[in-house]
Amino acid sequence: MTNHFPVDRKLFDDVMVPNYAPSAVIPVRGKGSRVWDQQDREFIDFAGGIAVNCLGHCHPALVGALKDQADKIWHLSNVMTNEPALRLAKKIVDHTFADKVYFANSGAEANEAALKLARRWALDVHGAGKTQIIAFNQGFHGRTFFTVTVGGQKAYSDGFGPKPGDIDHVDYNDLEALKAIMSDKTCAVMIEPLQGEGGLVSPTQEFIEGVRELCDQHNALLIFDEVQTGVGRTGDLYAYMGVNVVPDILTTAKALGGGFPIGAMITTTELAKHLKIGTHGSTYGGNPLGCAVAEAAFDTVNTPEVLNGVKEKAKRYVAGLNAINAKYNVFKEIRGKGLLIGAVLTEQYQGKAKDFLNAALEEGVMTLVAGANIIRFAPSLVIPDTDIDEGLARFEKAVAKLAK
Ligand SMILES: *Cc1c(COP(=O)(O)O)cnc(C)c1O
């Protein structure tokens, strides 16, 4: 195909809704943890498309599954089921607490399904009035109106008129605050078992266990949003396994498709039965093409080699970042879990995370931020050690420039 117009960053401003501010770099191809842009400049990818590309770019297992399914059947709608969806659901059920799976296309949609299920369950089982949903300040659950309202950032949910009601927020890791607003009117608590967008905040063991106990005490459902932490990111298949607290409903997306859009809400048989025929749905959810790719991603990640590799590679990152910090003293803390790592800037560099991201890009390494003060790393779970080392060397050059 030939174009009669230049396809460049300026075209974004001409034709795209201005809700994003993308970089000037336009990547055109990737292989493993390396990416090349239109000018053939090479980048090491420590961003992973925001914790999505769990197996890097163009992993042979994913490309194979995509091409194989592409020659068979792409889409059917939910008037019929399909083999890839059934196989993927069976594998998820076999390897988690859940008995049942609902497929969506994104994290927000998986969370939307989780919240609607919780409300429907409460109405069916406990009658009207048990509608309170509690979530946490700085939490992130997606951008549909229900999920963004449950998310804990007013900047994202304000300005769109009346919001879905009976949603409350308390501080993460503040068990007393949660206890104080919970009652038998609480329908569900939605929580990330490690806050991602909110700044790579891990729950204390006491807190996460306490949340489970309070839910049991008040007959409320515990919903784990594992859209960012799921599918190997923290070194466990799901983060709930690492904290040893089992939710009633769990959502998974991002890494689930390894770059192909898919999400899922998983739960028990007892709860699933409340989403009976006609109560919820999606045209594309459980699409054969998406499920075929996700099945390959799930199979590839869910091995002791890859999951143990995440823990080993995480140590290498943290050691590398600490070594950089020993020279330049720019971070006050390195935190997170597995290959979801946050480098928290010191007081001197408050608000400058984006400057570090931009400087790193100049040096040929793609990173992320989590708010204005944290540089976030969410690379491929199978990134070669040599790419970690080379990427950190490039990142160090960026830090050296800014630390001057
Ligand atoms: C990214 C994210 C979402 C939203 O997922 P989308 O696919 O963008 O809708 C929800 N929850 C968490 C924890 C996330 O990190």
Cα 292 to chain centroid, rounded: 20
Q: What pTM did the predictor assign? A: 0.98
254 is known as an active-site residue: yes
Distance 107 CA to ligand 1 centre (A): 4
Helices (H), 71-174: 83-94, 107-126, 145-150, 154-157
Burial of 312-333, coded b for 16+ CB within 10 Å and e otherwise, reads: ebbeebbebbeebbeeeebbee
**Side chain identity, residue 306:** V
How far, in Å, from the CA of 72 to the mean position of ligand 1? 30
Amino acid at residue number 249: I
Instruction: Decide: 250 and 165 in contact? Cβ < 8 Å.
Output: no
Exposed, middle or buried: residue 278 (CB in 10 Å: 0-12, 13-18, 19+)?
Answer: exposed
Point out the catalytic residue in the list 254, 313, 337, 352: 254
Q: Which atom of ligand 1 is nearest to the CA of 197?
A: 15
Report domain extents, the chain: 9-59+304-403, 72-301
Atom of ligand 1 nearest to the CA of 147: 10
Q: HSE of 68 in the Cβ direction (CA atoms, 13 Å)? A: 12
* Domain topology for 9-59+304-403: Aspartate Aminotransferase, domain 1 (3.90.1150)
Residues 6+ apart with CB under 8 A from 78: 281, 282, 283, 285, 286
DSSP 173: T
- Domain 72-301 is found in CATH 3.40.640.10: yes
Q: How many whole angstroms from 71 Cα to the centroid of ligand 1?
A: 30
d(CA 330, CA 312): 24
Sequential pLDDT tens for the chain (404 residues): 678 899 999 999 999 999 999 999 999 999 999 999 999 999 999 999 999 999 999 999 999 999 999 999 999 999 999 999 999 999 999 999 999 999 999 999 999 999 999 999 999 999 999 999 999 999 999 999 999 999 999 999 999 999 999 999 999 999 999 999 999 999 999 999 999 999 999 999 999 999 999 999 999 999 999 999 999 999 999 999 999 999 999 999 999 999 999 999 999 999 999 999 999 999 999 999 999 999 999 999 999 999 999 999 999 999 999 999 999 999 999 999 999 999 999 999 999 999 999 999 999 999 999 999 999 999 999 999 999 999 999 999 999 999 97
